[in-house]
Amino acid sequence: MVETKKIKWMFKKDMMVLWRHKPRLISLILFPIIMITLFGYGMGGTLTNIPVVVVSQSNGPVTDATLNAIKSTNLYDVTNVINDPTKGKQMVMNGQDKAAIILPSNYDDMQSQTPKNVIIDADSSDQMATGALIPTTQALFSQISNQIGIQELQSMGLSSSAAQSSQIQVTSQTPSQVLSNPVALSSGINFQNIVNSINFQINKLYGNISYIDFLVPGVLAMVVLFSCMFGMGESIAGERERGELARLFMTPTSIATIVGGKILSKLVQETGRAIILIVVAIALFGIVIAGSMLLTLLLLVLVALCFVGFGIMISARVSTQEDYMQMVQPITLPMMFMSGVFYPVETMPWIFQKIAYILPLTYANDALRAVMLKGAGIGAIWVDVVVLLGFTVVFFALGVKSFNRDV
């Protein structure tokens, strides 16, 4: 028989426990708000303000109009306008920009019937950004090509309406029909070259990279994050709750020894897990690691060390594993969405983009993608490595300092 009064007592007891455990209460309130906000504003967002550099090798009204068209498109964030194609390509390879749009030296020559070769050097390691940049840029220069064709026809003495009529007539014909066009034959003008005044060339600097190639480095870092964070909850908070730490502290064992042992065991586990993940990704999906396998493994060890420190810092003060999990979830899950694991940081609102660069997982993703997709060496990722080392030192220092021996 159900005893209503006792049910009320049990309910009141659970509510009092929740009120006394502030981490659980805060997590209960904040976690759903954070997650729905991330899904609403982050997932399914459109790419905007992708950093690009424009290489302009000519001066004139056509170049000026093209620059204005590029700058007025919200997909692009033009970080610089230079005149050296090699420097533009290097800026993309250094990670400063996602693409370099290169305008040729004859771009403003309206008298020439030779097509103008516009080149885009794209950072194909960012598969989603490249997938947005290439078709948009191609469509933009197709429109500009038509407008340049009209201007070139006008410069040859045709009226505006006649130029547009000639363009419409030419673009609706096949190449063989164009060559036999009476106007073209009588004038000696190659209308097809004039109308198709721009050749658009795409250079994917790191080859054709699929979404799974883009995804694997981020997933590796994410798996290490969850494994380390949740594992430290069991390893420290769980042992404290079961009384195992109390028995351990009855022996003449220092906190540093305990923490060192936890670090070593977790690093061995995570290194083995990372090797398995890489082997499975290569075997099942044909993933190719462009850079050093050794550097990839060392980065994963550093990432594991960083998140082990993070787990120690949080678990050092909590008394139960449940309290630990309630504190970790509002940190790890949003970090997964805001650090560019599944989609570029550029798709998120600006406030989330700013937050992303104070999260260690963002730097782990950047470093792993640079090595695995671009073939980068330590010289290209030293900033990410230094930041991860900084996070690691801070996490361990705070964790050891706040470690509660009184269990």
Chain mean pLDDT for the chain:
77
Cα distance between residue 368 and residue 289, in whole Å: 10
Q: Name 359's Cβ contacts closer than 8 Å, sequence gap at least 6.
A: 335, 338, 339
Kindly report, residue by residue over 11-62, the tens digit of the pLDDT.
777 777 667 766 666 666 766 666 666 656 555 556 778 889 999 988 888 8
CA angle 111, 114, 118 (to 5 degrees): 110
Would you state the structure tokens that stand for residue 215, as one six-digit string? 């995804």
Cα distance between residue 211 and residue 311, in whole Å: 31
Give the pLDDT confidence score for residue 167 in this predicted structure.
Answer: 41
The yes-or-no verdict on residue 175 having pLDDT over 60 is no
Give the pLDDT confidence score for residue 360 in this predicted structure.
Answer: 94
Q: Terminal CA-to-CA distance of the chain, rounded, Å?
A: 40
Cα distance between residue 318 and residue 402, in whole Å: 10
Could you tell me which residues are beta bridge partners of residue 121? 100, 203
Would you state the structure tokens that stand for residue 264, as one six-digit string? 């070593």
**What φ, ψ does residue 81 adopt, rounded to 5°?**
-125, 115
Kindly report, residue by residue over 306-340, the tens digit of the pLDDT.
998 888 888 777 777 777 777 787 788 888 888 88
Give the pLDDT confidence score for residue 161 in this predicted structure.
Answer: 47
User: Any idea of the CA torsion for 206, 221, 308, 299, to the nearest 10 degrees?
Assistant: -20
Which H, E and C letters describe 94-119, residue by residue?
CCCCCEEEEECCCCCCCCCCCCEEEE
Q: What is the CA radius of gyration of the chain?
A: 30
49: left (phi over 0), alpha (psi -120 to 50) or beta: left
Cα distance between residue 247 and residue 28, in whole Å: 33
Do 281 and 217 contact (CB within 8 A), yes or no? no
Residue 80 DSSP SS3: strand
Could you tell me which residues are beta bridge partners of residue 163? none
- Listed residue (326, 343, 385) closest to 360, CA to CA: 385
**What φ, ψ does residue 199 adopt, rounded to 5°?**
-95, 125
The yes-or-no verdict on residue 162 having pLDDT over 50 is no
Where do the domains of the chain lie, and which CATH numbers do they carry? 4-41+210-402 (no CATH), 50-204 (3.40.1710)
Sign of the C-alpha dihedral, residues 336, 339, 345, 350?
A: positive
pTM of the model: 0.72
In the chain, the amino acid numbered 230 is F
